[in-house]
Amino acid sequence: MNRVFSGVQPTGNIHLGNYLGALRQFVELQNDNDCFYCIVDEHAITVPQDPKELKKSILDVAALYLAIGLDPKKSTVFVQSQVPGHAELGWILNCVSVTGELYRMTQFKSKSKGQESVGTGLLTYPVLMAADILLYDTNIVPVGNDQKQHIELTRDLAIRVNHKYGEKTFVVPEGRFMKSAARVMALDDPTQKMSKSAQNVHSRISLLDDDNKIKKSIMKATTDSDGEVRYDVENKPGVSNLLSIMSALTDRPIEQLEKDYEGHGYGDFKKDLVAITIDALRPIKENFNEIRYSQDLIDALTAGAERANEISLATLKRVRDAFGMGI
């Protein structure tokens, strides 16, 4: 059985991009794999967080994990900081990576751009991500396209360590990216990815948005003036983004949607997308409300951390031994 690992940051506003690019694969994978799904709070603190908000966000993401269909009996769901091995392996891998390869990461470049002072954690973020993955002998990492570079770095570090300290030290993982909607773009600016942190709330659809907000954001979404519902990322990035969202939510190929909307204006197309999105998010919101304040959620996270600790300690022992650390 393959081991799967992925993580989401508890930084609020989990959106349709997170869901279509990453979370929906999590559910699909849990039946045939040994899956670990983590809420990566140690990654969240690479930028300043309000402690009360962070605590709330951690449980929000955990509840969303279960609300979209993750079953704690099948998947190990847990919070990163409850498993000390992440920080320890992160440190060891810091000593294997070089600063040049970290400065090259596009996420680092974009998050540090224009900042007067840049936290060290922001630079070493991808090393901690590599530790998350390698700690569980992971084979498959389901993520959105924006994480490709980080997965490559994880592979590089694993190969580098294996070369120096023994080929069996780490399992070399592979990324798994969605074929459709692997990169959902912002509704107000389809040249940027949909993001949790963007100022404009209408740039994204959050999974917990109410129906009115969903309607407003989609009806306001940037399109173009030619009026044709056609997929053409270069010349029609807004419409193309909405088409990929509709295709991902309905499992209908984009070519089929283009045919269906031939001769219709953007108004009809957007109205249908509003209805489809509202229908898709309704059960998630209902499940979320049921789970969020339940003891079951806390129990699932406690059991998850226990299993994650057990597995991670075995990997750490192997790594410490390979490096000659300890007594």
Q: Please work out the total of residues on this chain that contact ligand ATP, with binding judged by CB under 6 A.
A: 19
Q: Is 82 in the site for ligand ATP (CB under 6 A)?
A: no
- Identify which of 221, 233, 200 has the alpha carbon closest to the alpha carbon of residue 266: 221
Q: Which of 8, 29, 229, 284 binds ligand ATP (CB under 6 A)?
A: 8
Shortest Cβ distance from residue 133 to ligand LTN (Å)? 5
Burial of residue 176, with CB atoms counted within 10 A of its CB: 0-12 exposed, 13-18 middle, 19 or more buried: middle
Q: Which is nearer to ligand LTN, 6 or 240 (CB)?
A: 6
Catalytic residue among 56, 196, 213, 285: 196
Q: In the bound complex, which residue of the shown chain has the CB atom lying closest to ligand ATP? A: 21
x/- contact string, 104-143, with ligand ATP (CB under 6 A)? Answer: ---------------------------------------x
User: Does 21 participate in binding ligand ATP (rule CB under 6 A)?
Assistant: yes
Residue 66 makes CB contacts below 8 A (sequence gap 6+) with 72, 77, 287, 291, 297, 300
Q: Is 141 in the site for ligand LTN (CB under 6 A)?
A: yes
d(CA 279, CA 292): 21
| Residue 133 within binding range of ligand LTN, rule CB under 6 A | yes
Contact 132, 5 (CB under 8 A): yes
CA distance 134 to 173: 8
Order of strands, sheet of 140-142, starting from the edge strand that comes earlier in the sequence: 76-79, 34-39, 3-8, 140-142, 174-176
**Residue written as tokens 């091995």?**
85
Q: Of ligand ATP, ligand LTN, none, which one sits near residue 34, judging by CB under 5 to 8 A according to partner kind?
A: none
Residue 109 known to be catalytic: no
Tokens (6 digits) for 40: 């990566």
Count, residues near ligand LTN per rule CB under 6 A? 13
Return the one option of ligand LTN, ligand ATP, none that residue 316 interacts with (CB less than 5 to 8 A, by type): none
Residue with tokens 């780490």: 170
Q: Is 271 a catalytic residue?
A: no
Q: Does residue 197 bind ligand ATP (CB under 6 A)?
A: yes
The footprint of ligand LTN on residues 35-94 (CB under 6 A) is 40, 43
CA distances from 50 to 54, 55, 81, 118, 149 (A): 6, 9, 16, 18, 29
Instruction: Please report whether residue 183 would count as binding ligand ATP according to CB under 6 A.
Output: yes
Calpha distance 123→280 (Å, rounded)? 37
Active site residue 216: no
Window 206-225: contact mask with ligand LTN (x via CB under 6 A): --------------------
Q: Cite the active site residues.
A: 111, 193, 196
